[in-house]
Amino acid sequence: MTNFSGAGLAALAGFAGLGILSGGTLRAATPIVPSATTASRRPNIIVIVADDLGYADVGIQGQSKDVKTPNIDTIARNGVRFTSGYVSCPVCSPTRAGLLTGRYQQRFGHELNPPPPPATGFGLPLDQILLPQILKQAGYATAMFGKWHLGMGEGYRPWERGFDEYFGFLHGQHAYFDLTAKGGGGGPNGGDAIIKARAERNSRAEPVPSEGYLTRLFAREAVGFIGRHQAEPFFLYLPFNAVHVPLEAPKEYLDEYEGVEETKRKTMLAMLSALDEAVGQILAEVRAHGLEDDTLIFFISDNGGYAPNSSRNDPFRGFKTDLLEGGIREPFFVQWKNHIPPGQVVDSPVIQLDIFATAVAAAHAPAPADRVMDGVNLLPFLTGAQKGAVHEYLFWRFGAQKAVRHDNYKLSLTPKHGTLLIDLATDIQELQDLSKSRPEIFAELKSALDNWEKQLVPPTTVRGRNNAKGASPAKRK
């Protein structure tokens, strides 16, 4: 039984049905008609997150000829590729907070990256209910292998937030070969030691004296978990740190790209090949146990590609930290064989918040009923049971940067680029501001953004420091 604290426990007691509150409007979830496989068991759920992977850094996107991602590409070919798949923040930690709660993270103050160690008092607020907690209550075995970045102090760690098993590191980056040294990432935000923990061990974490390449080790743990839990529904969260800096790759992967002259790009591509191989091992393990029809799989990046690691976001402008498309539009693929028709390419805008709603609906688990939920269950749209746009509006706020998208129009207000009202159907590079020529559209989007902001709270971190005046749990709902 997962342990919840404060408002989280009260919210669990108030779960009701599968209704999803989206943008403040009650949205009744469309029931899933079970097939022969779902009639006997609820689906396994695997969420794979790449780190700082650009829109063009996956082969099936068709933007980069030097990319080799055959295994990742199969997820899109066997299911759906969203060409307008977004994340709710252009940096790591807030995106993960949104993914695991199904809510815009600005609603509860997790708007910015946490401060570097040893700031142990900051983390994803404990009154927020996480996807693994819901699925664990529903009888799922739960595990996470990879980068956490949602709190390092007692009470905030993965095995205290719904995961039965954990293997990884708690902060924002880590070296790929040096697995035990503090500061393994090489900078002020350097990674902590790789640790292993289980929920039943009284929250005790143990450093892991392993050797090897970190991406491979995460895959090893995931494959083992699938094998151990093949006979029961499981939730596997795999937030790899590839292809985040530092740029480090085994020689055999580097040799695959000996014709690439730019050193950074060559190393990033080698790291990407290692990530793709890891994804292939996980998919192969699912197939080996005959679980493909029983497994819902998501693949996404946490934010746009990062210029210092030579990732690419073509055809978009902007990088990680930007609210331009290059910072927030990502590879976003979903597979569930014999449930989601294969080979779909969908341009309707979706966001990583939808993973939560889709997963709880697929698992026939109840969503929180005491708070606004922003994600939407994608399954009815992917099976053809529901038509039209998934979201009427998508919103962003990242410090002084703000944006909103409605249909093909996007309004962004940022210190760097000023006011930009863009028709994304004709101006994917976001170069031609239409705010003066289309004042009615500007007014509509600005009003929607203002109304959304009224529902938010101040960030709980400001310029890397804890904000003691952050919103109370009651106000964060």
Q: What are phi and psi of 233, to 5 degrees?
A: -65, 135
SS3 442: helix
CA–CA gap between residue 3 and residue 29 (Å, rounded): 27
Tally Cβ neighbours within 10 Å of residue 337.
18
Buried b (16+ CB within 10 A) or exposed e, 342-375: eebebeebbbbbbbbbbbbbbbebbbbbebbbbb
Which has the closest alpha carbon to 334: 92, 85, 57, 146? Answer: 85
Within a 13 Å sphere around the CA of 450, how many CA atoms are in the beta-carbon half?
6
DSSP string, 363-410: TT-PPPSSS-------HHHHHTSS-S-S-S-EEEEETTEEEEEETTEE
- Do residues 171 and 117 touch, judged by C-beta distance below 8 A? yes
Q: Which two tokens stand for residue 316?
A: 């978009």
CA–CA gap between residue 394 and residue 25 (Å, rounded): 14
Q: Which of the 8 DSSP states describes residue 254?
A: H
Tally Cβ neighbours within 10 Å of residue 155.
13
CA–CA gap between residue 376 and residue 355 (Å, rounded): 8
Q: Which two tokens stand for residue 77?
A: 């070919």
Q: How many residues does the chain have?
A: 477
Catalytic residue numbers, as ranges: 92, 149
